[in-house]
Amino acid sequence: MATPTVAASAYANLARILDTGGAGKTSDASGGGGGGGPSFGDLLKDALGSVVDGGRKADAQSVAMASGKANVMDVVTAVAETDVKVSTLVSVRDKVIAAYEDIMKMTI
């Protein structure tokens, strides 16, 4: 199990990536698709932000339970939600890597 300092460091690193990842870019940096929707980078940024927020919520619930202010079920629910979010993020990452590898195998 991760210690609070390791978790805080991981959240800080993700927050730094999120802050620097979107700096100076416009929402139309997707190559001119013209769909008018959010770019892929914006979607990834939102997904990472959701995972970070879920982790912070789980940590806050754990600290509250340790101090006797939270219910065990609230902590278990928050941790389970974070686990689902992280698992989903890992699955998406794996699919993106597989797609990249498929593209690199294509002949020109």
- Please give the pLDDT value at position 43: 82
Continuous H helices in 1-108: 4-21, 40-66, 72-105
Question: What is the per-residue pLDDT across 44-80, written as a single tens digit (0 to 9) for each?
Answer: 888 888 888 888 989 999 899 989 888 888 888 988 9
Contact 49, 18 (CB under 8 A): yes
Residue 36 pLDDT greater than 80, yes or no: no
- pLDDT attached to residue 74: 87
Q: Where are the domains of the chain?
A: 39-108
pTM, 2 dp? 0.59
* Per-residue pLDDT at 30 exceeds 50: no
Mean pLDDT of 94-99: 92
11 exposure class (CB count in 10 Å sphere: 0-12, 13-18, 19+): middle
Mean pLDDT of 24-37: 53
